[in-house]
Amino acid sequence: MNKSIWIIAVFLSVLLLSCQGTETRAIEGTNPMTKESAKTKVATFAGGCFWCTEADFEKVPGVLRVISGYTGGKKENPTYEEVSSGWTGHVEAVQVHYDPGRITYEQLLDVFWRHIDPTDTGGQFVDRGSQYRSAVFYHDEEQKRLAEASRDALARSGKFTRPVATEILPLTKFYEAEDYHQDYYAKNPLHYRSYRSGSGRDSFLKKTWGDEKPRSPAPASKTWPKPDEEALKQKLTPLQYQVTRKDGTEPPFRNEYHDNKREGIYVDVVSGEPLFSSLDKYDSGTGWPSFTKPLEPGNVVERPDRSHLMIRTEVRSRHGDSHLGHVFPDGPAPTGLRYCMNSAALRFIPKENLEKEGYGEYLGLFGRKQP
């Protein structure tokens, strides 16, 4: 075969089977937190080939723009060739700029899980190597908590037989990829479709998720209103009002949920916002219902509490502003935390009533759909 023809053939085959481009130009990214505003937030995800990850997120309502790039390594201003070689420590990643009024960070996490193989430790689909591994890069502690909680819920879901291996890492510096890679799916639709079809990504996602719609634990459109004080006085028992509005504490052991062993979720008695799951409940021996972590970290607020000549961490509900209890660093694995809650601040919804009471999105936590 003529050498030039052979070279062209090799080039075309590589182009069709791997996520790569031709000319590259490194653009140093900045910390995206400096670009956030009240109406725009930024999230960073690594899901293998950034052509695919970018295309998947740009279809999501509430996402304003997606930028392909590199992060996670120490090499400054890396080029595509350097990253794809695997020695820089960087991964292909995307930064998702979104409107938090239309979509939440939790919803973005759910989209992310449904477009990758979170059990793959050696890359993603046809793209092999550490530069294609999956990861969530958090911008702040709240994103970290939400990402870890979302990953743990995925691991419990039973969707995968292998352990969920996606890393949750702090974002350092993000470098925008070369212009050639930005919006690649739109600029080169034929090659993109050919690559994606041959990569095995879509067949894996179809097999894993089928036609199941993304689960949104706390939809952006769902609100948790707090009634006014007069309405609360009518709605709550004297003990519930004393605990939630006056920061009171109920007696240990003589409360409704300390020994409740039924499956279901616990919501704020004031607003109804989801707070904890029976899957994370354990017997701490204290006489109060105790949990290792929140079901929805975004609905929980932690504040310093220096009352009673002690330094503790108070836990309140975000939307209902209810005093729930305190969190202590003496819990069991995997978190080492004990969320010590007042039963009077909670309402328990058993799994068989979740659909009826408007919390059907949580049925998947308990393994099967109730009739």
pLDDT tens per residue, range 77-124: 999 999 999 999 999 999 999 988 788 898 899 999 999 999 999 999
Instruction: Give the C-alpha separation, 112 to 118, whole Å.
Output: 9
- Per-residue pLDDT band for 305 (boundaries 50, 70, 90) equals confident
- Per-residue pLDDT band for 8 (boundaries 50, 70, 90) equals very low
pLDDT of residue 122: 95
pLDDT tens-place string over residues 186-243: 989 999 999 998 999 999 999 988 876 665 444 444 678 888 989 999 999 999 999 9
Span of 262-271, 292-301, 326-335, 362-371 with lowest mean pLDDT: 362-371
CATH 3.30.1060.10 residue ranges for the chain: 3-209
Which of the following is catalytic: 340, 341, 349, 354? 340
Q: What percent of the chain is predicted at pLDDT more than 70?
A: 85
Residues in Cβ contact with 276 at an 8 Å cutoff, skipping those fewer than 6 apart: 265, 266, 289, 291, 294, 295, 339, 341, 346
Q: Across the strands, what pairs with 326?
A: 314, 340
49 catalytic? Reply is yes
- Per-residue pLDDT band for 173 (boundaries 50, 70, 90) equals very high
pLDDT of residue 38: 55
**Strand order in 290-291's β-sheet?**
281-282, 290-291, 338-341, 323-328, 312-317, 300-305
3-state SS class at 270: coil
pLDDT over threshold 60, residue 261: yes
pLDDT over threshold 60, residue 16: no
What is the chain's mean pLDDT, rounded?
A: 86
Q: Dmax of the chain from CA atoms? A: 89
pLDDT of residue 222: 66
pLDDT over threshold 70, residue 17: no
163 vs 370: which has the higher pLDDT: 163
Q: List the structure tokens of 162.
A: 């292998």
Q: What percent of the chain is predicted at pLDDT more than 90?
A: 62
- Per-residue pLDDT band for 252 (boundaries 50, 70, 90) equals very high
pLDDT over threshold 80, residue 14: no
- Per-residue pLDDT band for 37 (boundaries 50, 70, 90) equals low
331 within 8 A of 338, measured Cβ to Cβ: yes
- The strand ranges marked E within the chain are 41-47, 63-71, 91-98, 123-124, 127-128, 134-138, 167-170, 175-176, 264-268, 274-277, 281-282, 290-291, 300-305, 312-317, 323-328, 338-341, 346-350
- Per-residue pLDDT band for 279 (boundaries 50, 70, 90) equals very high
287: left (phi over 0), alpha (psi -120 to 50) or beta: left
Q: Looking at residues 10-39, what average pLDDT do you find? A: 45
- Give whole-number Cα distances, 45 to 97, 115, 243, 319, in Å: 11, 11, 40, 28
Superfamily of domain 3-209: Peptide methionine sulphoxide reductase MsrA (3.30.1060.10)
Residues in Cβ contact with 344 at an 8 Å cutoff, skipping those fewer than 6 apart: 237, 239, 240, 242, 243, 244, 248, 250, 255, 256, 269
Q: Looking at residues 17-33, what average pLDDT do you find? A: 43
Which of the following is catalytic: 49, 52, 232, 365? 49
pLDDT over threshold 60, residue 31: no
CATH 2.170.150.20 residue ranges for the chain: 229-366
Q: How many helices (H) and strands (E) does the chain have?
A: 10, 17
Span of 56-60, 120-124, 215-219, 365-369 with lowest mean pLDDT: 215-219
pLDDT of residue 214: 61
Q: List the structure tokens of 308.
A: 């009673």
340 catalytic? Reply is yes
- Per-residue pLDDT band for 297 (boundaries 50, 70, 90) equals confident
295 within 8 A of 276, measured Cβ to Cβ: yes
pLDDT over threshold 60, residue 316: yes
| DSSP helix, strand, coil percent of the chain (3-state; round to 5) | 35, 20, 45
- Closest by Cα among 233, 219, 5, 254 to 110: 219
pLDDT of residue 19: 52
Phi, psi of 134 (to 5 degrees): -90, 145
CATH number for the segment(s) 229-366 = 2.170.150.20
Instruction: Give the C-alpha separation, 328 to 285, whole Å.
Output: 14
